[in-house]
Amino acid sequence: MALVLLVVSCGTAYGQQRPLRTDDAELLPVGRVRLELGAEFLQRQRYSLSGLEGDLTRGVAAIGVGVGEYAEFQISSVFQEVLSISRRNEPVVAPELHGDSTRSVGDLVLGTKLKLVGEKGRRPAISFKFAVELPNANQAHGLGNDETGFYADLLFGKDLGRVRLLGDVGFAILGSPVIAGRQADPLTYGLAVLAPVHRRVNLVAEVNGRKGPSGRVGNENRSQFRAGAQIRTGAIRWDVGAVAGLEHHDPKSGIVIGATYEFQAFKRPEAPVKLRPPASGQAGQR
């Protein structure tokens, strides 16, 4: 995380599409490292567990590493979030706070993406991604639920001319913060499009979220529409986007900004050269 905080810039590559949340099936090349840093300003964010509601400001960071021809490792986190409280509803678990604001670190997500098949002809690129979300956010501050989550998704990526389509579909296993031994298993989904309008500018849009049985306190349905642009300046790619919440517990609206930087940290190991042994006749002459 300290390494991410030192970098405030971004580069370009497949598999990287800030400000979207739908992941690409393509992997980072072996030895390639991607550092991402961003900020989100979200209006009327609701927390059913603590009953808090207000405007949320948070900083997000991520690291991706191409660890092999068929694998990529990812770490992402909300390294700080601050909620300006505008309303207090009846809580399910009362937070331990006073005043009109609260803050906390967010949850840490560790994920691995495995390439299944590459894009060829009409077939899209397909990868499998699994991730675990660790409960770093503090429930006492009203911003977390102290539960671990698991996610598994199939990722798809397809070029249609100059436009690239991305799709995610899978499921999550989310522990209940109010009933011991209970869990929610919602469907997760994402559909995104990236369209270049200039050699340095892409327009992007997506719908991304999760859908399951209603009434699961702390694990409600989520869905967001995001649209924005990616702007490349040399080794830096900046991004900006607008957010519209589609479910009750999503923010009403918001703005996201960020940047990503990539560099080659190590190279693929070269295969050792195999020397052919000399023929028996040649060996005797020597």
> pLDDT tens digits, residue range 57-114?
999 999 999 999 999 999 999 999 999 999 999 999 999 888 899 999 999 999 999 9
Under-70 pLDDT residues of the chain: 1-16, 215, 269-275, 277-286
Q: At 98, which amino acid appears?
A: H
96 Cβ contact list (under 8 Å, min separation 6): 140, 141
List the chain domain ranges: 2-271
What are 182's two structure tokens? 């209970």
Q: What are phi and psi of 283, to 5 degrees?
A: -65, -40
Report the CATH number of the 2-271 domain: 2.40.230.20
What pLDDT sits at residue 272? 64
Q: What is the pLDDT, as a whole number, of residue 5? A: 33
The whole-number pLDDT of residue 127 equals 98
> Residues 6 or more apart from 143 whose CB is under 8 A from it?
47, 50, 52, 81, 83, 102, 103, 104, 106, 137
Q: What does the pLDDT read at residue 182?
A: 87
Are 226 and 19 spatial neighbours (Cβ–Cβ below 8 Å)? yes
The reported pLDDT for the residue numbered 215 is: 65
Q: What pLDDT score was predicted for residue 155?
A: 98
